Amino acid sequence: MTDTLQIDIHQIEKSRIDSVDFDNLVFGRSFADHMLMVDFKDGEWQTPQILPYGPISYSPAMMSLHYGQAIFEGMKAYKNAAGEILVFRPEENWKRLNKSAVRMCIPEIPEDIFMEGLSQLLRLDAEWIPAKEGCSMYIRPFMFSTDEYVGVSPSKTYKFMIFNCPVGSYYSKPLRVRVETQYIRAAHGGVGFSKNAGNYGGSLYPTKLAMDAGYDQIIWTDAATHTFVEEAGTMNLLFVIDGALVTAPTGDTILDGITRKSVLQVAKEWRMKIEERQLSVQELVEGIKAGKVTEAFGAGTAAVIAPIATIGFEGVDYQLPERAEDAFSKRVFEEINDTRLGKKADTRGWVMKI
């Protein structure tokens, strides 16, 4: 990619990198030296800036704090053996960010600002991309409204920003998840498909209740009947049932996950039977009891492929079998991991080299 876009760069004087323990990275707690910041005002996106990572100050009346025009993305960068920077499917994140933007009345971000801003930011903070197996640079693009105004309407000004975090794994062990049958994440016609900050805010209380009961996460069910499995909020859900890969169709209540999409593509290439269909909780628990459900896992950028060990439903814990050596979720993880690390030829055009 050529850098044709003008970006004003203000570099840090001294890197903070020595203060970070790269052998013990905790997800989301360390932030690389620089951030990208672009203002939208007078109906257009202004010249992007790269600045030292740090606090920004705003009016207490900033609209996004009150009316929730705030959306984000998550993606990851790696270094290959030659030390080149590889980003996994950033175009998909750019497209999805703009889908979220449209739904939330936020102006779309042009591709050149997103891609070139990202490229220049990563080049500047290349030292921060962890080399250790299982670690990566988690990239957080986001947009939010900035008008100082008390009144419910779309803001006239916004910011698009990106910062980077060197991270280890999001989940460190197979998960215990509980099927949620009281609270809901998304209803038809709502904002469930968008990566909108409020979706995550609304999930905190029911997730806390599940955590208090000894679970790691919840499985959201459909808002109307609580009958069908939807997603887990931090990740999409996939199951291997009778040898077929089963996952809920994304529609307007479920995030169109890029890891989910990648898993389905690999499964299709491997000629595995794929069923994008409604899966009832009843079918799931009956399937586990009958030994038909051999794998359950989450798929997401932060989580990557997160095996599920236990599913709690109506007070009963259903145990998934131990993952076999040749389990699909293991093999598909290796396929995606080797591709994004550049260990394997990128036959699908998934990797952007910077």
Binding site residues, ligand COI, CB under 6 A: 74, 234, 300-302
Are 144 and 195 contacting, i.e. CB atoms less than 8 angstroms apart? no
CB nearer to ligand COI: give 27 or 58. Answer: 27
- CB nearer to ligand COI: pick between 259 and 310: 259
Q: Is there a contact between 86 and 78 (Cβ–Cβ < 8 Å)?
A: yes
3-class state of residue 165 by DSSP: strand
Minimum distance, C-beta of residue 52 to ligand COI, in the bound complex (Å):
24
Distance CA 101, CA 195 (A): 9
Instruction: Report the residue closest to ligand COI, judged by CB.
Output: 74
- How far is residue 49's CA from residue 52's CA, in Å, rounded to a whole number? 10
Cβ(341)–Cβ(84) below 8 Å: no
Nearest-5° angle of CA 151, CA 152, CA 153? Answer: 105
CB nearer ligand COI, residue 141 or residue 312: 141
- CB nearer to ligand COI: pick between 164 and 301: 301
Please name every residue paired with 141 in a beta bridge, in sequence order, or none if there are none.
162
289 to each of 94, 270, 282, how far by Cα in Å?
41, 28, 11
Q: How far is the CB of 20 from ligand COI (least distance, A)?
A: 19
Question: Which neighbouring-strand residues pair with 36?
Answer: 50, 162
Nearer to ligand COI, 201 or 321 (CB): 201
